[in-house]
Structure formats: structure tokens, C-alpha cells
Chain A
Amino acid sequence: MNRSSRIKKSIGEHVFDTFNVVLMILLCLTTIYPFLYLLSLSLSSGNISLTKIHLFPPEFSLANYESVLSYGYIKTGFMNSIMRVVLGTALELFFCLLTAYPLAKKYLPLRNSWTGIIVFTMFFSGGLIPSYILMRELHLMNSIWALVLPNLIPAFSMILIRNYIMSLPDSIEESAKIDGAGEFTILYKIIAPMVTPILATVALWSIVGHWNAWFDSLLYSTSPEKQVLQVVMRNIIQQGDVTLEAGATSTVLSGSVNPTTIKAATIMITSLPVIAIYPFLQKYFVKGIMVGSLKG
């Protein structure tokens, strides 16, 4: 850093840097602006004009959040979402590691065929309707397992872990063996702690994926209490879009809240948990992808 500042920059470089910074700031603003707008809307009382754009709530109110959080299915939705995230991510990490470890061993018989079979699922799937029929015939409808099992071992994540394990020196394992460790001890005492960065990456993908997923829930769950938060949110958001009867949709609620601010609050509530987790996992996220790059 010091050294580069000592080297004089030409005018062209200055222009280029300024241009870059300005462009970057603009880009960031376009990303953050809609979010700020929603945040401001969600914190506004229902009396504000919706035809003007506010970056700060003109009339501060928490009524929207109160109203959304008191909607019956929000609680069940939250619980279902958290359950699928926790269960889905934990099982995914466990089974991915369990699959990746043997596949990383060069002496595994038919290793390339096994890998090939798994990679095959990245490009071809049975399709939506057969998957649905399968879930139904397995009697997994309305069960959390319908949301967790189909994507239990994402091929891409598994291969990342496999490649990461392959990059570890064999000698570590050999020394453990000499000390008398069995295969499972080696996996859980030696390998698992060493692959934490890549596991964190995979975990983050899994968390975000499970948190955002909604279509499978809509498909495999038939009762409203079984739906995940995203589906509940979707129902609230879409409410005003179907005009059936003006009284029921447009000017629904009395003074303190109105549908638009309610929608904003709903969106904030559903996106905040992921935003809150992100900073803590992000360092692994960036590092993990780099270190896990193809080395096999």
C-alpha cells in the first residue's frame, strides 16, 4: 500500500480511478436504494402518501410490524422455515462430508464411476412431475422431509468438499493411522476440523437456499400451517394484486396501516434473518470458494 502511493499516478490513472469509484458507488446505490425504500416504507405509518418516494419514514410507526407479526401463519411459517434450515443444513453437511471423504480417496474402487454418477445428477433430473409423484408415493406430503431429502446432497457442494479433502496432504492421514486411528476417527478428528472453511461455505449456501426456497413447500405441503415463511409472505404480497372486490383489497385496513406498508414490513421480516447471518459467514464464503477450487 505504502509503496504504491509513492509511485506517482498519471492523470489517466487518476481519471480511471475516479471513474471506477463513481461507477462503483452508483452500482452500490442502485442495489441498496430499493432496500432502503422498503425499510422506510415498512417503518412508516399508513397515513403517508404512497405516490411519493421517501428515504426516511415521514411518520415513524411500528404498526406494520405489529400487524404482520400478528398474522396467524407468520409464526408457523417462521418455525417451519427455521426447522428446515437447521435440519436441512445439518444433514446436508453430515451427508456431504460422508460422501465426499471416500470419493476423495484414490484407492476407492470404481471411484470415477461413482463420481460420474453423482455429477450426472447436476445436469439431468427426473423433472417436476415425477418428483412430485415420487414424494407422494413415499408418503412424504406435508412432511418436513419432503423439503429436506430431495436436495440432501447437492452434487456441486459435495464435489467442492471432495476436492478440498483431496488437497490435504496424505501424510497427515498416514501419521494418524500410525497412531492407531480408524477411518471414522480420522474423518471426524482430523479431516473434519481441517475442512471447516469449505463446510462453512456449503453451510451458507444451504442456509440461504433453504431459507429462500418456497416452491417445494407450496407443492408438498397442502395445509397453510405447514407452509414456510416465504410462502406466507408471498400470500401477503400477492393479496392486493388480485382485484376481486375493492372493499376487500384496496382500502382494507383502518388508519394506522395500509397494504403497501404491510407488504414492505413483510419483506423486511423475511429478509432480515439472512442479512443478519451473512456478515458472520461471509469471510468463509469468499475464502472457501477460492480454496476449494478444482485441484483434483
Chain B
Amino acid sequence: MNNFVTLKKSRVLILCAAMLASFTACGNNEVNKGANAGASNSSESSTPNFDKKIKISWVGWSSPVNDKGEIVKEIEEKFNVDINMVDASDGAAFDVKIAAGEVPDVFPLDFSKYQKFIDDEIVGEIPYETIEKYAPNLYQAYQTEVPTYIDLTKIGDKNYGLVVPNPESGNFRPLVVWRGDWLKNVGITKVPESLSEFEDAMYKFTNNDPDKNGKKDTYGLSESMMQTVYGAYGYLPTSWTRRDGKLVYGAVQPEMKEALKVLAKWYKDGVLTPEFINGENKGGDWSIATDFVNGIIGVTSYADYLYWKPAQSAGDREGSNITEMRKTIPDAVDKLVYGKPIAGPDGKKGLNMRNSLQGRFIVFGKQVEKDLDKQARILSILDYSSSTYEGYMLTRYGKEGVHYNMKDGYPEAIAPYSDWNEIVKIGGGATFNNAIWLPSIIQKVNREYAWGKSLGTLQSDGIMNEVILPLPSASKYQAEIDKIRSEAYVDMITGKKTIDYFDTFVANWRAAGGSVLEEEAAAK
């Protein structure tokens, strides 16, 4: 009883102190916002003193999240907030709510809607000074880890969003995977690196029965490795890259004519599988390179490198393609060989390298713009969850021993939290860090990333699309010119049209709006 009373007393004292502090804080806020911010920043604790409980409506990267989830509660307690999780998984439903005036305080926004939402005054400004003040770690990480991207969120000299880096698959080119046993069976000892060596291997894969089953049922390559042929001539059809300093579209560069000639010949000779039109994945999980896994083609670069990761130790998680191959061609698994993009006649080479961004920015609703207290609170949550190791571990994986265990220095989720839906449900996954995954943190927790880095070669020989935010007129023309491009390319490869058609195609492409996009890109 005595204990209880003293406890109560101490609580009352704390409460009084808290109230006093909040009064002074409020006063400061009105008189001098900067001073308050400076004060909370200079204090030693990782979280500024947030004495007044405020409500925040929050959209995480994935949905649905339970308001009463364990991690949601942790964050609510730590930052003295009352969080209302908003489900924005369906774009159409979310748009209706936005139109009806229900703009959440924090939400991820597609690149394609970014400019529009700013013009419509749905999202508010997030000045860089504010980020620096309330999310100092994140600000620092932006400056040092993703400096090339931070200006993307600026419109004029105002900043409206936070960039979301994607270290896991961004800045990596696909891994080129060869069937080592096939190479051996057709008598090739050196993994092909030049176009002529590659062609030789492709013909042998097709004609010399590499799987030794006595039937001519194999092909050289499919859709993914066609890219390396384009790359060998310097461009990728769907990427904007620089030519003499100016951004140009790959598909209409004259060099592509040479690449198409090669592909058309391979198609005619049955080296390129006729199924290439349907892409390389044919059902099941999207990351599976179906033809390769079924032993129909001998080389692939389909899906990101991480889907090819072998187990690094007993019980380690394998990439989905390795898992699949264990079911279809188990003997080939240990004989996979990693190659490189193929070098063309002039030594050019490259495969598509993704930029290191997720396709969305994190933005704040317009109502937050004037509410400095809320801005500070949100930024502090993001700062804690994305750029401190402790915060990232909590908001991504949960609590050690409850939701995950450490194994060889990496976190391993405990079932059922290994399921993305389950961890998201309690507020983990990418709910509070909102997928702002910084390379410096990811390399400590992600085995796939560590493996990709260890290969050493995946961050070179890539061709990156330099148009990151859609061009202003893209929504108007892109669909139509993409159709023209893919039809023309397929027709020329399958021999339905001769290669001379290329010039007609370029003219059609430009006339259908391509020239407008070219001008817009050239101005960048």
C-alpha cells in the first residue's frame, strides 16, 4: 500500500513536470519555433521531448496494419502519439478518400502522381531545414549515402518529399547465370565474354544436345539475355541514356539495327526460343526464370541477382530459382556458373541496372505543413525507424526473441513473422521506416545484399535508365509508343518484317509522340 502511494506520488510529480514542460514548449512554439527545435535537438536523448500527445494518421508501405499491433504500440509510447493506420493498398479507394478530403498525415506517393498532388495542394512542403533539425540521422544519411537522388523531391526550390532508397536491388545489374554442365558438355571451357564466343555457345547449346538426352529440345537463350545483345551495341531499348551528353532513347538508336540483325538470325536458326515474346517467366512466382529452370535454355539474366543466391550456411534461405531448380534439375544446381554481360564488337556491354530508388516518395499531407509539432513528431519517427540500427530492427523485425532471433549476425524471423503479412500486421515490415532503407543499415541485416556485394561484379557493366521521374508528356504518349516499339521489334526479330523496316519504325515512333519525349529528355 505504502509502495503504491509513493508510486502514485511520483507519477503525479512526473505528470506535473510534463505539463509544465508542455506549457513552456507551447509558449516557445508560438514565440520562436526554432528555439524549441534547437533545444530538443541538443538534448542527449535520441528522442526530443514530446509532451503533448498528438494524433497522426499514417500510411505504411504495405497494408493492412492493426492499430493495436505490438510495434505500433511501441512507437506510440516512445513518441507519445496516437497513430491511426490508414490502409492505402488500393489506389482507387485511396484516391476516393483523398478526393473526399481525407488526406493522411504521412503516406507514400507514386512518382507519377507527385507533381499533381503538389499542384492540387494535397501534399505539403517539408523544408530541408526541418528534416535536418528533426531527422538528423536521416538527413546525414541522405547526404552521404544517396546524394544523387535527394534533389528529385524538389520542385523549384521547395522540397515536398523524402526519397526512398532501394539498396537491395537498386544499383545492381542482373546476374548472368550459365548452365556450367551444358558448357562442359559442348566442350566450352571459358565462360563466353565476347559476342562471337557467346554466339558460338548459343549455337552449340541448340545443336549439340547439351543435356545429353538425344533429342534436339534445347535453345540458347530467351528474353532476358536478348538485353545483353542490345547492350553489346551500347544501348538498351527501354532506357534513356546519354549520347554525346544528351539523353536519348535506346530503341531508336541506329546501333540497335545491328543488334536486331543478330537476334533475327538467331531466331531464324532456332537459337532464340520462339517463346521469347511471352517473356521468361511463365507463371508461379514472378521471380522464376521458367525456361532456364526447366532446362530449355542455357543462360539467363532474369530477375534480380538475389533470386539466385545459394544457401550460405546450413538452413540459410535460398533464392527462389535455386529452390525451384532443386525440384526440376537438381544435378545442375551446383554447376551454375556466373558470367558477365557480353562485350560487343566495340567492347561495349551492359545489362539493365536499376536505379536505387523505390518508385515512391514519402510525403506529408498539406495539413501537416502548418503543424510544426506534428512535422517534428513524424520526422522523428522516420528518423528513428530508418536511420538508427535499433529503430530499424524494431520497426522492421520486431522484438528480439519474440519476433526474430539473431543467426550468424543476421536477423531471422520467427514464424509466423517470417510472413510479410504477419509482420506488417503488427506494425513491422515497412510500416514506420516506410521502406526508407539505407545501404548502411541494410548491409548489416540483409544476407542477400551482403551476397550481392560479395560477388563484386554486379555493380559494374550496368546501363541505367536516367529518366527517373516520368517525363512530363509520358502519360500522354508512353503507352502508344511502347506498343509501336514492341511490335516493331518482335516483327523484325521474327522475320515478319526485314531489318530495313527499322527506319520506318523510328519515323512512326517519333510521329506518335516519341519526338516530344525526346525533346523533353534532351532538355534534362
Residues of A with Cβ closer than 8 Å to B?
A: 47-52, 71-73, 128-129, 132-133, 136, 215, 218-219, 222-225, 227, 235-236, 238-254, 258-260
Contact = CB atoms under 8 A, between A and B. Distances in A.
A108 to B, nearest CB: 38
A39 to B, nearest CB: 16
Interface in B44-68: 61-67
A251 B320 contact: yes
A226 to B, nearest CB: 10
B421 interface: yes
A235 B304 contact: no
B448 A247 contact: yes
A215 B92 CA distance: 9
A247 to B, nearest CB: 6
A41 to B, nearest CB: 9
Interface residues of B, number: 56
A211 B309 CA distance: 42
B420 A132 contact: no
Given A240-B286, A252-B420, 16 more contacts: A73-B64, A128-B96, A136-B100, A215-B90, A224-B65, A224-B66, A236-B421, A243-B287, A244-B62, A245-B420, A246-B304, A246-B307, A246-B319, A249-B420, A250-B319, A251-B319
B349 interface: no
A235 B64 contact: yes
B415 interface: yes
Contact of B287 (A129, A218, A223, A250): A250
A51 B283 contact: yes
A236 B429 CA distance: 15
14 contacts: A49-B293, A50-B284, A50-B288, A51-B294, A51-B328, A72-B425, A129-B100, A219-B97, A224-B87, A245-B446, A246-B168, A246-B169, A247-B317, A248-B429
B331 to A, nearest CB: 15
A250 B307 contact: yes
B323 A251 contact: yes
Contacts of B299: none
Given A72-B425, A215-B93, A245-B168, A51 B288 contact: yes
B445 to A, nearest CB: 10
A260 B283 CA distance: 9
User: Which among A50, A51, A215, A219 has the greatest number of chain B C-beta atoms within 10 A?
Assistant: A51
B328 A129 contact: no
A208 B156 CA distance: 52
A238 B306 CA distance: 21
A132 B96 contact: yes
B99 interface: yes
Contacts of A224: 64-66, 87, 425
B320 A253 contact: no
A73 B424 CA distance: 13
Given A50-B284, A51-B283, A128-B96, A252 B446 contact: no
B341 to A, nearest CB: 22
B346 to A, nearest CB: 35
A50 B421 contact: no
Contacts of A243: 169, 286-287
Contacts of A225: 66
Nearest to A220: B93
Nearest to A216: B93
A253 B422 CA distance: 12
Contacts of A251: 317-320, 323
B446 A235 contact: no
Nearest to A261: B284
A211 B435 CA distance: 34
A14 B508 CA distance: 51
B89 interface: yes
A71 B61 CA distance: 20
B285 A240 contact: yes
B284 A71 contact: no
B395 interface: no
B327 A47 contact: yes
A260 B307 contact: no
For B64, B290, B294, B437, the residue with the greatest tally of chain A CB atoms inside 10 Å of its CB is B64
Contact of A260 (B67, B99, B284, B430): B284
Nearest to B99: A129
Nearest to B66: A224
B145 interface: no
